[in-house]
Structure 1
Amino acid sequence: MRLTRQTNYAIRILMYLAANPDRLSRLGEVAKAYSAPEPFMFKILQPLVSAGLVSTVRGRNGGIRLGRAADEINLREVVELTEESFTMAECFEAGADCPLIYSCELNSALRQALEAFLSTLGRYTIADLTKNKAYLHRTLGIEPAAAA
């Protein structure tokens, strides 16, 4: 299974915010850290806000931050939120015309594989991905809260 760019960047946004918990971040600085266009990142941010994974603060000194603790956001939740489809083969699609659709072992095997994939992601949180905050700060150019 291959994750979309949207899912990849959604996880990156959450990682950035988890690595920078002591202050509000601006979407522009997150986009710059990942060399991504800000309008693209804004599009990805919307479902994260709607789901409560990211919260926004409006105003001149506003910004974004995690909506929940990083250890409460698991990767499965993010993937299921941002991926449009988990179709791994034609037989996963509604209206598939294969005569074996209800008795095919390939369909069963792929469904089990997908569930194993999602189950594994469910065991990891954003906190797990951001344990080395010092490295993330250096790599992403995040300044300490006092200096910001």
Structure 2
Amino acid sequence: MKINAFADVSLRALLVLSSAPAGELLTTQNIADAVGTPYHHVSKAIVRLRELGLIDVERGRKGGSRLSQAGHKATVGQLLRELDTRSDPAECHSSHGDCPLIIECGLRGALARAREAFYRELDGVVVSSLPSFRQMAPVFQTIGLRPGM
């Protein structure tokens, strides 16, 4: 299965935040630089992650984001379910019209079950357990921080 770009950016932001030094606030620009993604895309992800309660945000000159208690426990499956905006995995409805095979289509149900199986497999993977020191050390050096691992 392929995840959407927004979910990808959101997962990467959580990976960076989960390996930041304890108590360290990271700016959206820090996170964007760390994951190699435009600021605008990361800022949208930060807003959504905050709405989901996975990060805490402090505003102001010395503000930034950090992983919340819920964020430390969040699983990949849980996050992808929240961020998957596609209602139909097969795009049976489009601007060009509905698929003529949509009535009693068995493919839609099979794809929906496969997507749920994909998420279920990722329900056991806690996002904050994924980053390693070896992976994050060079990333944090590029933004002037040391990973908190």
TM-score range, shorter chain: 0.7 to 0.9
- Aligned-residue identity in percent: 25
- Please say if 1:43 is aligned against 2:65: no
Match of 1:143 in 2: 145
Paired residue secondary structure (2:69): coil
Q: What residue in structure 2 maps to residue 11 of structure 1?
A: 11
Aligned-pair distance for 1:84? 1.0
Distance in 1 (alpha carbons) for counterparts of 2:98 and 2:106? 15
Mapped contact 2:78–2:123 kept (Cα < 8 A): yes
Greater alpha carbon shift after TM alignment, 11-20 vs 133-142: 133-142
The offset of 1:10, in angstroms, is 0.1
Report 1:123-138 matches (<5 A). Answer: 123-130=124-131, 132-138=132-138
For residue 144 of structure 1, report the CA deviation from its aligned partner.
Answer: 2.7
Matches within 5 A, 1:23-34: 23-34=24-35
Post-superposition offset of 1:68: 2.1
Q: What is the one-letter code of the residue matched to 2:76?
A: L
**What CA distance in whole angstroms lies between the structure 1 residues aligned with 2:86 and 2:48?**
15
Aligned-pair CA distance for 1:78: 1.3
The AA in structure 1 aligned to 2:117 is A
| Counterpart code for 2:146 | P
Residue number in structure 2 paired with 1:81: 82
**Distance of 1:30 and 1:73 partners within structure 2:** 19
Q: Across the two proteins, how many residue pairs are aligned to each other?
A: 143
Contact (CA 8 Å) 1:101, 1:107: kept in 2 or not? no
Distance 1:145 1:16, change over 3 A: closer
User: 1:73-126 CA distances to partner (integer Å, 9 max, x unpaired)?
Assistant: 1112211222211522245x5x96656644x44333222211110101111111
Segments of 5+ residues of structure 1 without an aligned counterpart are none
Task: State the TM-score, normalized to the length of structure 2.
Answer: 0.80
SS in 2 for 1:117: helix
What are the superposed Cα offsets for residues 40-83 of structure 1, whole Å, 9 maximum, x if unpaired? 21111111001101110122221100122554111122112222
Letter in 2 for 1:111: A
Contact 1:73 1:126 in 2 (8 A): yes
